[in-house]
């Protein structure tokens, strides 16, 4: 009588696992880059939202506001009717990057924090930038008297728009 094998041999199983590992390696590298690009764009949109929120708050409440950033957080401040010190006052809204994202994402601001007067006009031109060190790209919000502009590119955050 002849016996027929109905299962996989050890070598066949190792070949299948090796092929699967190669396919995972091939398809995971682009997806990691796409994830970082998505997070960078997402945080860039959050910067844009925060700047618009500061402008809207200044108009709605007839006060000066400012948007200030540290390496891992961004905050909107209510400065009241005097904007002598831009990054002090009552915090209206704040966002902090989760700790697992701070290893590659960071916020940067120009030497001048962004501020708006009660008419919604910028009283202090500036820019805010989020930088992803994993993919070496940035997303920057530029604020001037003329308006709010988004820009992005490769490399570190530029010092000005």
The per-residue pLDDT for 5 is 62
Helices (H), the chain: 10-61
Check if the beta carbon of residue 127 is closer than 8 Å to that of residue 145.
no
pLDDT at 8 over 80: no
- Note the CATH number of domain 30-154: 3.55.40.10
The string of pLDDT tens digits covering residues 59-77 is 999 999 999 888 889 999 9
pLDDT at 127 over 80: yes
Residue whose pair of structure tokens reads 């929120």 in the numeric block: 53
Q: What is the mean pLDDT of residues 2-29?
A: 80
Residue 50 has a CB neighbour count (10 Å cut-off) of 22
The string of pLDDT tens digits covering residues 29-61 is 778 888 899 999 999 999 999 999 999 999 999
The per-residue pLDDT for 57 is 94
């Amino acid at each position: 009588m002849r016996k027929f094998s109905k299962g996989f041999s050890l070598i066949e199983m190792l070949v299948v696992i090796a092929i699967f590992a190669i396919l995972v390696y091939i398809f995971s590298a682009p997806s990691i880059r796409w994830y970082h690009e998505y997070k960078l764009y997402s945080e860039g949109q959050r910067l844009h939202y925060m700047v618009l929120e500061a402008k809207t708050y200044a108009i709605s409440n007839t006060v000066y506001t400012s948007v200030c950033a540290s390496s891992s957080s961004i905050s909107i401040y209510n400065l009241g009717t005097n904007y002598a010190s831009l990054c002090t006052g009552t915090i209206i809204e704040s966002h902090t990057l989760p700790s697992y994202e701070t290893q590659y994402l960071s916020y940067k601001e120009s030497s001048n924090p962004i501020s708006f007067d009660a008419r919604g006009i910028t009283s202090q031109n500036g820019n805010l930038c989020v930088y992803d060190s994993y993919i070496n790209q940035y997303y920057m919000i530029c604020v001037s008297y003329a308006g709010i502009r988004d820009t992005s590119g490769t490399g570190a955050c530029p010092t000005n728009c």
